[in-house]
């Protein structure tokens, strides 16, 4: 068994688990072997360490979140390659270790990629905490593999084992045109709301065109599929727009959304933790539909870090426009972290505010 004692978490406000390694990591690591190996969703490096310790050859790792990539690089200096979800990641792999993702769409895309590109004799081991697992996960794996079985539970974790890949054509990113907002939305499996327009974003879109202040540079923070960035670029042709997210699924979705709506040349899409790569006082407008879940729990503190990032990059007089579930009462935090905050609109469920630096 590998020595996990030196593994460290990277500062990660989105993490539900406060430890660098958990029972699922340990259970999955037992399935590592001296074989070509791909690892999907390693949190901080435990699965990669396990594979290297087992003598795995050509270890390749995909992590949707950039904070995970940075944690892995801090914890393990060599012996693996970080890659996007691609043919290069999976070609020739006979063992695939997967931390089960939160959403079925993300699992569907991952499983489909493994079935399509990995070795015909690949065995996929997908582990998770039992409280977060569902029978639907077995069904998703069953769409892409002939055989799916489940291990015995241990320390409240379990592993699903899939073999016999059934290759099919890639069907991500998916795309959908929404007449009410006049936009194509493209989405990989790991993006919140998929190719739909979630109701909070829809509400913000309903007020932006008429109420948005004059600006030269705008940022869609936590852009997801890039709907807000595409809308800003379409409605204000002279506006410089950045769409930023730490998720690989999000930034690839956003790029596809910009292309589908004919604004790819006017929106810069960046993969970033918060707005770490953006200079201070560099934007006049930031738009934000903040996430408020960490795993399966409500975690309103996630938004506070994003508010602070927005405050740092906004120029004096710049504004942060935020949409949020009214029950979360973010306004005091916005007043404290960003500045004077006014309500722009409210409906039965959501509130839109503008906070000025």
Could you tell me if 208 and 325 lie in one domain?
yes
The predicted-structure confidence for 248-279, as pLDDT tens digits, reads as follows 999 999 999 999 999 999 999 999 999 999 99
Asked whether residue 129 is assigned to any structural domain, the reply reads: yes
Asked whether residue 7 is assigned to any structural domain, the reply reads: no
In the listed set 109, 138, 165, which residue is the last one of a domain according to the structure? 165
d(CA 25, CA 248): 22
CA angle 281, 345, 288 (to 5 degrees): 35
Could you tell me if 115 and 250 lie in one domain?
no
Residues spanned by the domain of 105: 23-165
Asked whether residue 93 is assigned to any structural domain, the reply reads: yes
Tokens describing residue 224: 């997801």
Tokens describing residue 160: 């699903």
Integer-rounded Cα Rg, in Å, for the chain is 21
Phi, psi of 174 (to 5 degrees): -85, 155
CATH code of 146's domain: 3.40.50.150
Could you tell me if 80 and 113 lie in one domain?
yes
Contact status, residue 265 vs residue 241, Cβ threshold 8 Å? no
Total domains present in the chain:
2
Phi, psi of 244 (to 5 degrees): -130, 135
Which burial class, exposed, middle or buried, applies to 87 when counting CB atoms under 10 A from its CB (0-12, 13-18, 19+)? exposed
pLDDT category of residue 14 using cuts at 50, 70 and 90:
low
In this prediction, residue 18 carries a pLDDT of 58
- Strand bridging mode 341-346 / 267-271: unpaired
The predicted-structure confidence for 216-247, as pLDDT tens digits, reads as follows 999 999 999 999 999 999 999 999 999 999 99
Could you tell me if 160 and 238 lie in one domain?
no
Could you tell me if 303 and 154 lie in one domain?
no
Could you tell me if 211 and 144 lie in one domain?
no
Token look-up 């409605």 returns 235
Could you tell me if 159 and 226 lie in one domain?
no
pLDDT category of residue 134 using cuts at 50, 70 and 90:
very high
Q: CA dihedral in degrees (237, 270, 183, 266; nearest 10)?
A: 20
Asked whether residue 4 is assigned to any structural domain, the reply reads: no
- Strand bridging mode 341-346 / 157-165: unpaired
In the listed set 165, 196, 227, which residue is the last one of a domain according to the structure? 165
Asked whether residue 2 is assigned to any structural domain, the reply reads: no
pLDDT category of residue 109 using cuts at 50, 70 and 90:
very high
Could you tell me if 35 and 106 lie in one domain?
yes
Could you tell me if 286 and 256 lie in one domain?
yes
Asked whether residue 127 is assigned to any structural domain, the reply reads: yes
Asked whether residue 327 is assigned to any structural domain, the reply reads: yes
Could you tell me if 251 and 133 lie in one domain?
no
CA angle 228, 230, 233 (to 5 degrees): 110
pLDDT category of residue 193 using cuts at 50, 70 and 90:
very high
The predicted-structure confidence for 54-86, as pLDDT tens digits, reads as follows 999 899 999 999 999 999 999 999 999 999 999
Could you tell me if 178 and 161 lie in one domain?
no
Could you tell me if 152 and 253 lie in one domain?
no
pLDDT category of residue 40 using cuts at 50, 70 and 90:
very high
Which burial class, exposed, middle or buried, applies to 273 when counting CB atoms under 10 A from its CB (0-12, 13-18, 19+)? buried
In this prediction, residue 16 carries a pLDDT of 56
Higher per-residue confidence, 6 vs 192? 192
Sheet bearing 95-99, strands edge to edge: 81-82, 57-62, 36-40, 95-99, 123-129, 157-165, 145-150
In the listed set 131, 165, 199, which residue is the last one of a domain according to the structure? 165
d(CA 73, CA 312): 27
In this prediction, residue 301 carries a pLDDT of 66
| Strand, helix or coil for residue 209 | helix
Asked whether residue 3 is assigned to any structural domain, the reply reads: no
- Cβ of 317: how many Cβ atoms within 10 Å? 10
């Amino acid at each position: 068994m590998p020595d996990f004692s030196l593994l460290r978490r990277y500062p990660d406000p989105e993490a539900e688990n406060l430890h660098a390694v958990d029972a699922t990591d340990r259970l999955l690591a037992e399935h590592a072997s001296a074989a070509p190996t791909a690892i999907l969703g390693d949190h901080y490096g435990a699965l990669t360490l396990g594979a290297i310790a087992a003598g795995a050859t050509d270890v390749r790792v995909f992590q949707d979140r950039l904070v995970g990539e940075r944690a892995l690089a801090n914890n393990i200096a060599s012996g693996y390659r970080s890659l996007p979800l691609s043919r290069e990641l999976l070609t020739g792999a006979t063992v695939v270790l997967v931390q089960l993702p939160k959403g079925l769409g993300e699992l569907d895309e991952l499983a489909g990629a493994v079935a399509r590109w990995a070795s015909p004799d690949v065995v996929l081991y997908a582990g998770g905490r039992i409280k977060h697992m569902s029978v639907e996960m077995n069904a998703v794996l069953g769409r892409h593999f002939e055989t799916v079985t489940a291990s015995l539970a241990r320390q409240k974790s379990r592993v699903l084992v899939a073999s016999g890949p059934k290759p099919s054509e890639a069907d991500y990113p998916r795309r959908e045109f929404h007449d009410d907002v006049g936009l194509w939305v493209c989405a990989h499996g790991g993006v919140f709301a998929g190719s739909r327009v979630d109701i909070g974003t829809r509400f913000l879109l309903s007020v932006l065109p008429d109420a948005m202040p004059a600006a030269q540079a705008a940022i869609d923070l936590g852009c997801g599929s890039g709907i807000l960035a595409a809308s800003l670029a379409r409605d204000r042709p002279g506006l410089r727009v950045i769409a930023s997210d730490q998720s690989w699924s999000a930034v690839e979705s956003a790029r596809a959304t910009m292309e589908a709506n004919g604004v790819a040349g006017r929106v810069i899409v960046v993969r970033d933790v918060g707005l770490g790569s953006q200079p201070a006082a560099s934007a006049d407008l930031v738009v934000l539909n903040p996430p408020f879940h960490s795993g399966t729990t409500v975690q309103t503190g996630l938004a506070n870090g994003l508010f602070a990032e927005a405050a740092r990059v906004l120029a004096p007089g710049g504004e942060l426009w935020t949409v949020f579930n009214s029950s979360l009462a973010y306004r005091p935090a916005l007043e404290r972290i960003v500045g004077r905050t006014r309500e722009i609109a409210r409906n039965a469920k959501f509130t839109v505010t503008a906070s000025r630096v």
